Chains A and B, each alone.
Chain A
Amino acid sequence: MANYQYCVATNWGKGFITHSDSSKLDFTSFPGNVWKVNANNQDANRWVSGVAGVRKTLSEAQAIVNAEITAAQAEWDSIPDDDERKDTSSALYIPRPEDITLEE
């Protein structure tokens, strides 16, 4: 049985995850507005509905994240090698976005 469920929801800021939500549930966000919350949990189900989340299967969520990461990696790869964003001694340095594997 899956430990987590996934949905796509836009974080509007204040009130998106409340103190009560955070006390009861485990939240993790991923690129593409993908959110991972507990599965088989009424509070989690209510949260997904309350934020107008669109439920995704694990493979659907993984595809969304993959697309976002691939785009971000392409963006990073297109940065010239002598750009500060690729200079590890620069405060502007950004590591290349890494692949993310969602868990069931």
Chain B
Amino acid sequence: MATYYDIFGQKVQYLASDPSPVTKGQVWYNSTSNTLKIRTYRNAVWTSGATTPYAARSTRGFGDSKNSAQIFGGYTTTAVSTSVEYDGSSWTGTPSLNTATYASSVGVGVKASAITVGGSGGNSEEWDGSSWSNITAYPNNPNSVENTGGFGTTTAGYFMGGSSPTPSMPTVKPSTIKWNGSAWSALNPMSIGRTDMGSCGTSTAAIVFGGESGFPPSYPGVRDQQEDWDGTCWTASPASLNTPRYAFSSCQNGPAATAWAGGGYTPAITETYKSTEEYDGTTWSNSPATVTYEARGGQGSGGIQGASGFMANGTYPGNPTFNTDGCSEFDPGAMETQTVTVS
């Protein structure tokens, strides 16, 4: 049988403590703990989460992780004001939105403090960790901009794009609007008007990706393009999704060095809606992780890049109402040190 030396031409390092930094594939023996260790990549996975208390689509969400998340609003057979939070084990009701809505913006912020704008209800509301309260209306009202993207915080929240539901003049917007905690201001727009996109980052380094810019009858403009925000302007990124998609789940907070996008609608509406992609700051790569329940868009989702996330609810073709109460939890791929065991 070939030895490690035969294969790699060197012996396993014998060290009193774990080395730093370590690189992918590095193997060493820790003589203090008497363990053989390897630095390797742990693939991303989706796992089943607890079903939500209400089946709906066009729900929105936010959260710190798969163990600290919240979804709100959505469409059951009408717009609802439901708001529920998740601790990684079960969903619990919270005080409702002041205005029932679906297809609002993503929840911008963290579990303890977030804001959402627009949607069918046309209202703008802030979550303070215990209840929702109205804030100054989003300036694009009365267009009731729907499916707006966003990132940031409740005192530096950025909202991009979205669509107007006005049937006579459907419009997909490229706008960028900032909330500073008390007032709205317009910033430089994106290059591509889009709605139902992914977006995440900080006030000086953020990205938008995917979404759709099409019009009836065939949604020709499903996007794979990414744009990068530097605090002042959006510029076209060399990175792009492998599969154009919209209405997918994604992370929303933290630095834009990593991101993920799962599910959603794709142009062909094939099984790719269950696929996931991960961004390493340079490139989007297809992930081996597959969404664990049957949903095709309109999910509430959230999470922090590099940490875990979640998606819940959405459309389900096997239900007469086309709604689902499913939930998936996401752990992104990451480098980790594993201890080699023999059994």
Which residue numbers of A lie inside 8 Å of B, CB to CB? 11-19, 21-23, 26-32, 68-69, 71-72, 75-76, 85, 87-92, 94-95, 97-98, 100
B48 and A16: CB pair below 8 A?
yes
Known: A11-B293, A22-B46, A68-B318. 6 other contacts (CB 8 A): A22-B292, A32-B318, A88-B214, A89-B167, A92-B103, A100-B271
Q: Smallest Cβ distance from B260 to chain A, in angstroms?
A: 15
List 23 A-B residue pairs with CB atoms under 8 Å apart, sorted by A's residue number: A13-B327, A14-B89, A14-B90, A18-B47, A22-B45, A23-B45, A28-B271, A31-B316, A31-B318, A32-B318, A69-B317, A72-B317, A72-B318, A72-B319, A75-B320, A88-B216, A89-B165, A89-B170, A91-B120, A92-B103, A97-B317, A98-B269, A98-B270
Our pick among B45, B165, B315, B318 for the contact of A19 (Cβ within 8 Å) is: B45
A22 and B146: CB pair below 8 A?
no
B163 at the interface (CB under 8 A from A): yes
Contact A14-B120, Cβ < 8 Å, known A23-B43, A32-B318, A89-B170: no
Number of chain B interface residues as a range: 35 or more
Q: Which residue of A lies closest to B119 (CB)?
A: A91
B219 and A88: CB pair below 8 A?
yes
Interface of A is mostly: loop
B322 at the interface (CB under 8 A from A): yes
Our pick among A17, A31, A68, A98 for the contact of B48 (Cβ within 8 Å) is: A17
Report how many A-B pairs have Cβ atoms within 8 Å.
Answer: 105
Which residue numbers of B lie inside 8 Å of A, CB to CB? 42-43, 45-51, 58, 75, 89-90, 102-103, 119-120, 146-147, 163, 165, 167, 170, 214-219, 265, 269-271, 274, 288-290, 292-294, 315-320, 322, 326-327, 331
A13 and B48: CB pair below 8 A?
yes
For B289, what are the chain A residues with a Cβ–Cβ distance below 8 Å?
22
Contact A91-B217, Cβ < 8 Å, known A72-B317, A97-B317, A98-B269: no
Q: Smallest Cβ distance from B259 to chain A, in angstroms?
A: 20
For A16, what are the chain B residues with a Cβ–Cβ distance below 8 Å?
48, 292
B48 and A89: CB pair below 8 A?
no
For B265, what are the chain A residues with a Cβ–Cβ distance below 8 Å?
95
Q: Which residue of A lies closest to B103 (CB)?
A: A91
Q: How far is the CA of A47 from the CA of B293 in the complex (A)?
A: 16
Our pick among A22, A68, A91, A94 for the contact of B163 (Cβ within 8 Å) is: A91
